[in-house]
Amino acid sequence: MTDNIAGKAIVVTGASSGMGAAAARHLARKGAALVLGARRSDRIAALAAEINQAGGRAKPVTTDVTKAEELQRLVDAAVETYGRIDVLINNAGVMPLSPLQRLKIAEWDQMIDVNLKGVLYGVAAALPYMIKQNSGHIINLSSVAGHKLFGGSAVYSATKFAVRALSEGLRQEMAAYNIRTTIISPGAVKTELLNHISERDVQQANQDYVGEVGLPPETFARLVAFAINEPDDVGINEILFRPTAQEL
């Protein structure tokens, strides 16, 4: 069995809860050196302290992914602390679902800023280091909604379809630099994403469904580890996972 996680410097955005926090804990147990980014400083500080007290390595950096300079600071912290950046997990995302006719324009802008521009800013911060190293791995979060649409998902799906297109372009352009890319598209997972939905009828329908069939965030953590742990000459380019019971 390969051991391609221990010692790697890994940056995780959206690390304050849900899938990001689960991935951080799981990768720390496997020996990764982590930099944790999120807006909620208290949460990532507590998570970093938990990891460090358990014998792992984690540094918290307060980060708003809608600001390119803050993502640059996050990635710079990995290089300053560990000497390199091996993996960037662009996990931060929001999902305020709503039908288009309700004209939630501010929420549309938020999804574009976080889900798409936040990924681009992360890529922009990490690529110069990874190209210089001639190695690296960028993991971008899409969604089942990046493969198909459902009620109220038009703008959210648009951002997640865009992440898949961006990631495939990144894969093609970075092959010459030995930089791996992975798209991970989760189905129903029990996280705080549903809290972002301001339309109560849409929120209730999704909470009922995810509450019934949703997977724990640790499922995502295991799949992230799988993609990273493969030898460097193997690119796990896309993972789509769902609860077995999910029809959508």
The catalytic residues are 156
DSSP run (H or E) holding 208:
helix 200-213
Please give the Cα distance from 144 to 97 (Å, whole number).
14
Which pair of tokens denotes residue 244? 């077995």
Burial 147-156 (b: 16+ CB within 10 A, else e): beeeebbebb
How far apart, in whole angstroms, are the C-alpha atoms of residue 47 and residue 200? Answer: 31
Contact 95/107 with Cβ under 8 angstroms? no
Instruction: Please tell me what DSSP assigns to residue 245.
Output: T
Q: How far apart are CA 69 and CA 230, in angstroms?
A: 31
Tell me the torsion sign for CA atoms 126, 85, 222, 57.
negative
Beta bridge partners, 239, equal 184
